[in-house]
Structure 1
Amino acid sequence: MITYFVEKKSWIAGFFFILLFSNLLFWLDPGLKLSGSSVLYFNGVLIICFIPFLLWRAMRETRYLKEVEEIALHNEVSDWGPLLPEAEGVNEKRWQAVLSDASQSARHQAALNEDRHSLKSADIEAWVHEMKAPLTSLKLQIDAEKENPVMQKIDFEWSRLHFLLEQQLYQARLSSIEHDTVMEHTEFGQIIFPEIKSLSAVCRARGIGFEIEGEELTVLTDLKWSRFIFRQVLTNAVKYSPDQSEIIISGEKNERFAEILIKDEGRGIKPEHLPRIFEKGFTGEAGRQQSNATGLGLYLAKQAADSFGIKIDVRLQEKGTEVRLIFPLPDTFQKPLHTR
């Protein structure tokens, strides 16, 4: 309301200028000679009439803008069209036409962006699937000669390539994750063991072992996406663990939540870097020392985890890093998509 009066200060100044000019005429023109009390009465009547008029105009003219501001606060531009209040005056109708056009343009642009993103995602998925065919063939040849030291090195590089391809595939699917979800009762072992197996070549080459417990615990989650989230965390643990070390993986459950704990003996994370570990592209000091670090793993894991109400809790230890994947129990899960 105050901003309206500030905006209309020229009106207010004009009114008092006319009032002053009228008083000047009363004083200078003998034909309009009035007593002092009559002049005061005249001024008082005009001011008393002007103030309610100004307040009425302020309420009427700001009502539309207030309703538009409320819509803008709680809705995207593309949704404004049907929500706009009814316009009464000429200016309001002009504003409504402009806002409706902006809303329609935003919807059109959003649809174009979605189509482009869908095409890009489809292209990436198609490319990844095309790449998987020769990779599968290569894996069969590697497995046939596991004892060959050369093949063991190739298997190591194959694991890295396979991980990066899977990461690209899931990154492309993140935007439509709600269409690619099946909630089911899943044992932690179903999440943990396939991902450890996929890293077996790397771990074998570096002498990294695992201590596992609590794998029989069950949660309601999407198995495929939970594996992806666990894979990003486990890969980081393996990448930054020293050779001949051990990674502890344990499952725990109480009345409120279940969790998978991954604890490594690596160099850890600097305290000042902890708030940034889920940022896209952030690699930290350890990542900058490795040319193959992308800074995407934890970012993608966090994006996927948020869709399922899974919390990723990272804690610093005296030696290494401890990561907890905290799963909500069925009665506390708020985003059931497809359950079986």
Structure 2
Amino acid sequence: MLKAFLTERRSWIIMFFLQQVFLLFIAYVDSSIPFTPILYIVYLSFLIWIVFVFVRFNKETKFYKSLEKWENNLDVKKIDEAETPFESMIEKSITGQTEQLKQQAVLHSLALENEKDELMAWIHEVKTPLTAMHLIIERMEDQTVKNQLDYEWLRIHLLLDRQLHQKRMTFIENDLSLEVLELKPLIFKEVRDLQTWCIQKRIGFDIQLKAAAVLSDAKWLAFIIRQLLTNAVKYSKASDILIRSYVQDERVHLEVQDFGRGIDPKDIPRVFDKGFTSTREHHNKAATGMGLYLAKKAAKPLAMQIKVNSSLGASTTFTLTFPKRNEFEQVISV
């Protein structure tokens, strides 16, 4: 800040120095003017100038220091009050722009909220004909066509479900309802919903639940498990998917292990990134890279952790770690 202060006033400083040099030059050239008293006056002027600069630096930079520390969070109250006309001009300009930005932020927030509400309403409306379509498919006699339509219906259903939860994600903390949940019926329901897809790919499930119950939110836990299962089915071929739960270090762990193509080691740190699919294979154009990202994002408010371990060309294991019971106090207090 001192460097900026001196740089801003360099013309005034140069002018002061030139005046002192000019006085010494006149005293040196004109023999009628005693040089020593003039030198003494210049010396005193320098001392007074140094004190003056120090005082003005502390006084004039107070406002600008507060600007430098300002977090640009549209809260102008944290900026020190202006004391000079130029500072008042800056403060007035910042306050005006801040108020304008606040108004625009409110308008954008309302627009986004309306768009979100409209999209969620549209999703719920689409679910009605989608349910009717599923009932029609169930009554079809041609098994081959029925299985194909069932698979395409499931894809649409999963995409709509993911979109719905993605929009709800912004207020997930207000949507939580913690209760003791039995894992078996929850997992079996998700497996049954994927039955058509699994039959088509000749995939089975090996379910081993040593830990039977957890404390969590039913809706969001089902969504997380759904994303892990659909990811496992997507990258598996004619093999069983292992689902097991166990207790370790007073925490319940739920693992979903598939024996598909695995994940490249360089991709593992990025599997939960938004929009990331794979650097090995790009033929699967249906992949959006959103499922695992949303699962990770939904797990955070529930104080759960999702980790992945994979062996390329052999298997991939996603582990969902539930918190200890007393750790939910932090979740409830959010």
Contact 1:219 1:329 (8 Å CA) reproduced: no
Please tell me whether residue 327 in structure 1 is matched to residue 322 in structure 2. yes
Deviations 1:256-279 (A, max 9, x none): 533221111111111222232223
Contact 2:236 2:258 (8 Å CA) reproduced: yes
Partner of 2:46: 47
Please tell me whether residue 270 in structure 1 is matched to residue 264 in structure 2. yes
Whole-angstrom CA distance in 2 between matches of 1:324 and 1:122: 34
Partner of 1:317: 311
TM-score (norm 2): 0.90
Q: Which amino acid aligns with 2:259?
A: E
Of the three residues 74, 94, 98, the one matched with 1:99 is 94
Whole-angstrom CA distance in 2 between matches of 1:309 and 1:120: 29
> Helix, strand or coil for the counterpart of 2:5?
helix
Deviations 1:54-89 (A, max 9, x none): 1222222222222233231xxx533x1333322222
The structure showing larger relative contact order (alpha-carbon pairs under 8 Å, at least 6 residues apart) is 1
Of the three residues 238, 246, 270, the one matched with 2:240 is 246
Whole-angstrom CA distance in 2 between matches of 1:46 and 1:306: 65
Percent of residue pairs bearing the same amino acid type: 34
Deviations 1:104-146 (A, max 9, x none): 2222122122111111111211111111111112222334458
Q: Which amino acid aligns with 2:16?
A: F
Q: After TM superposition, list the pairs within 5 Å mapping 1:217-228 onto structure 2.
A: 217-228=212-223
Of the three residues 316, 332, 336, the one matched with 2:332 is 336
Whole-angstrom CA distance in 2 between matches of 1:42 and 1:250: 90
Deviations 1:131-175 (A, max 9, x none): 111111222233445883322222122111100111111122222
Of the three residues 252, 258, 261, the one matched with 1:258 is 252
Contact 1:211 1:247 (8 Å CA) reproduced: yes
Q: After TM superposition, list the pairs within 5 Å mapping 1:1-340 onto structure 2.
A: 1-31=2-32, 33-36=33-36, 38-72=37-71, 76-78=72-74, 80-144=75-139, 148-189=143-184, 191-214=186-209, 216-243=211-238, 245-255=239-249, 257-285=251-279, 288-317=282-311, 319-333=314-328, 334-336=330-332
Provide closer, same or farther for how the CA distance between residues 330 and 12 of structure 1 changes in structure 2, counting only shifts above 3 A: farther
Q: Which amino acid aligns with 2:89?
A: R
Contact 2:255 2:319 (8 Å CA) reproduced: yes
> Helix, strand or coil for the counterpart of 1:201?
helix
Contact 1:188 1:215 (8 Å CA) reproduced: no
Shift of 1:255: 4.2
Q: Which amino acid aligns with 1:252?
A: Y
Mean Cα displacement is larger for which, 306-315 or 258-267? Answer: 306-315
Contact 1:189 1:216 (8 Å CA) reproduced: no
Deviations 1:167-190 (A, max 9, x none): 111122222323322233333335
**Alignment length (residue pairs):** 331
Contact 1:77 1:103 (8 Å CA) reproduced: no
Whole-angstrom CA distance in 2 between matches of 1:25 and 1:158: 98
Contact 1:315 1:323 (8 Å CA) reproduced: yes
Q: What is the Cα-based RMSD across aligned positions, in Å?
A: 2.4
Mean Cα displacement is larger for which, 124-133 or 101-110? Answer: 101-110
Provide closer, same or farther for how the CA distance between residues 71 and 158 of structure 1 changes in structure 2, counting only shifts above 3 A: same
Shift of 1:93: 1.9
Shift of 1:211: 1.6
Instruction: Give the gaps of 5 or more residues in structure 2.
Output: none
Mean Cα displacement is larger for which, 310-319 or 201-210? Answer: 310-319
> Helix, strand or coil for the counterpart of 2:230?
helix
Q: Which amino acid aligns with 2:294?
A: L
Whole-angstrom CA distance in 1 between matches of 2:211 and 2:132: 33
Q: Which amino acid aligns with 2:229?
A: L
Instruction: Give the gaps of 5 or more residues in structure 1.
Output: none
Whole-angstrom CA distance in 1 between matches of 2:28 and 2:146: 110
Whole-angstrom CA distance in 2 between matches of 1:187 and 1:88: 66
Provide closer, same or farther for how the CA distance between residues 215 and 104 of structure 1 changes in structure 2, counting only shifts above 3 A: farther
Shift of 1:27: 2.2
Contact 2:24 2:35 (8 Å CA) reproduced: no
Q: Which amino acid aligns with 2:332?
A: P
> Helix, strand or coil for the counterpart of 2:288?
coil
Q: Which amino acid aligns with 1:209?
A: G
